Structure 1
Amino acid sequence: MTKEIKVLSKDEVATSVDQFTAGLTQYLGELGLPNQHVLVPVQERQRVIANVPDVIELIDANRKSTSIYLSKFIAACGAGLFDAALNFIWDETVVNLRNKVARFDLEYFYDSVVTDTKRRAKLKDEDDLQKIEEWELIRGCHLTGILSDIGYKHLDYIRDMRNWASAAHPNQNDLTGFQLISWLETCIREVIAKEPEGPVIEVKRFLNSIRNTTLTEQDALYIRAGIENLPPELATSVLRTLFGMYTTKDTAVQIKSNIKLVAGSAWTVAPDEVKYECGFKYATFASNGEVDRKEAANEFLSVVGGLPFLPNDTLALEMADKIDSLFAAHTGFNNFHNEPAHARALEAYVSSAGTVPDAVRKSYVKTLVMARIGNGHGVSDMAVPYYERLIMKFGEAELREVACLLTDREFSSRIGLGSCPSNFRALLGRLAPPTNQVTQQAFTQIQGATDAQIPNLGKDSAYKRLLGVG
């Protein structure tokens, strides 16, 4: 049976607090210290003390017995030190949030809030929560769903007030009793008396399954469905965590196998911002010489179709390597058999929009078109689907490069072989019509040329002037 808290009457509070205030004021004066504007008026203290019982009742008995900073809060309010009281509210909230994070999923929290790979590597257990700034703690709890949207907004405001109006920093700000009791209620309702629920619990459950069980395809179906229904902020945190788990050194093979089963769904629902973040981490591993983590990141991004989200410089380097490999396979022995694997590898780096870094555009277009029109003896039928998908994504910049191919000596030599000129003309007919007038005119000239004329078109001075090439 809960013991009822006796609320003192206004007169009782006023009498006892007045006596304390008078005595302390006199003592400060005797010490030669300031004794004015040190303690808040008795009326404001009474407002807090009169309302505290109703607010404290929101907390269950077990939590009450360990809430030391709430006791200090009430003591500070009774003494008239509201700036200190605000600090104690905040301290209790921070302690509670850290406990929730530790009980919920530390790895999930760290992966969600810390994007710097070097710093993340230093965060391993509950003790490391002390290294997390308080604003990061609140943000991380929001990202992982421990804090609701409204709770996050309220706590961020209270944190700001704590920084500027509490005893944490020198100040002479006036706080009222109603302000304090309101902030106390917010912290209790949104943090101290509240546990994670709904989708957040689902995330905890399936992360535990990924780490500790062997998932079947049937198990993965349910997890994928759950991921696809997550709110965007939770989807962001889940993708960060899966990527972090997969690229951590010594991650068990079974965990990686589990992640492969569900990572595609997390990638699909997460915003592009976090996808580019994963790509940046890949580049960071590469630049730091972390070969194992780079390879793991490459595996992860390959599984989810995320290689196009690499930083532009890194994407250009990776694509250049794949383009060179495809060109070597196309011009080498047994090319019809070897081309498909290299074409497939290149396609993994090209987004659905067909965006290509400027640095590799010329070689990209040349290699694909040469491979698609064949070598005069035929075309690699198994590679054709890859070539068609990539070529049909050509944008205006790539279409111009197609027109300029005839001025390239190697290409002009190829275009005169066997069925190559007719294949080239047919390819132009399947491309999206250029919007640039110069490219349009170049395409018209190519389409109007005979098979014998096409190889020499790139040497024609009028054609070169049209394209503005030397």
Structure 2
Amino acid sequence: MSPSEVLPWQPVENLVALDKEMQPAAIVSKAVNLRPKEIKQIISNFELENYEIASNYIWTKSMALLKINLSSMGMDFIGELLQRPDIDEDSDPSNSVSDYEAIDLAFELGAINKTQRMRLLNSSEVVNHFASSFDANDDDTDMMLEEALQCVKVCIQSVLGLEKVEAAQSFSAFRERLSGTTIASDDPEITNLLSSPYFFKKTTVSILLNILKSANGAALENGSRNTSIIIPQLWPDLNGPERWQVGQAYSELFNEGKSSAVKTLNSVLVSVSGFDFVPESLRSNSFTKAAHLVLAAHQGANNFYNEPKPMRDLAAMGSSIPGPAFGNVMTATLAVKIGNRYGQCWDAQQSANEVLNGLSQDRWGYYLSQQLPNDTVVLAKLTNSECVRRWMSIMQEFDVEMPTTTVKSLGALLASSISGDEKKISIITRNAKILLDGTRN
């Protein structure tokens, strides 16, 4: 099984017939993963016009099932895929994996398609928005039938209307081979890996580094040899975050005195001239964790209430952001600044500004030219015109300069963003969609 063929799940057919269906009973009846009693209750809530209750219930069930399906691959592996060292085999998927992470990972693994991902993320915003509305006297805070039907449709089409999805063994088998045997440098699997989608390259790097950190005996020996063979071949294609990940692992292993693994990564870094990516300290872990808390608050329910504290905590850590954490900090901070289609968290803006005020033009240029093309959170926001207006304001507020780039779509997006001309919003949204699609290819 070659890496280019490695997909834990194969894409399944969408329940296309539901796209035009407008009768709640007919839609909900397709939810094969719900018990008859649950289906009856949901239909009853629709009949009583309790749209928020029905939508919230079916959304919660969908996310729970999606996370269970993901966890069948092993929670330690999920932690590797998400680059979340805090997730291990004993982690509870419902608490340790956010809805956004579950949706994004399901898409990466082929469990849902691009349209389903987009609709699920939109439904997440809608459900969280109404779940955060507490004004009982404001009729405008009531969910409309169309909004509820859209949420229910995509949940059934993507998760609840499918027979139980079993994780295939192909990727797990490849993962096991990395620690179970030594792969020759000219092995067809490595040749295929070099032409595989970027997701599999960065995942392979994560798996190899995890073997160096946690394995012993023969598994460590095999993992070390495979690291020495595979990472140098992948290095020219690796983006900044993955290169920093290798340097960070070297620093951690050195501090822990794991001489065998350190020797392996030292030889790798020497061969690729990669010591620029070794951090001087492990401060990046703290920055990364703080940024994750900001993003989790932003993407969760009642986000406008929950964002200020983690954003203040992140800003208080100082403006000297370590390279390995820089992308995570920018994603979280810009998510707060841009907000979502419902607006911004005003109480978090000052803290976000403190972070951005500490950036030099060189760091802005690095983010925009090197990291924005792979920042799916920010790019997704730039497909919405209201979010784009705030993005353009950020460019003006911090006097951001145009960086050098040879990517046509990125250049068009940045030039239009920095111009401040709202007539160019459509150019930004169009090119954001192109870049967003590019991150999946």
With the shorter chain as reference, the TM-score category is 0.3 to 0.5
**Which gives a bigger RCO, structure 1 or 2 (Cα 8 Å, sep 6+)?**
2
TM-score by length of 2: 0.47
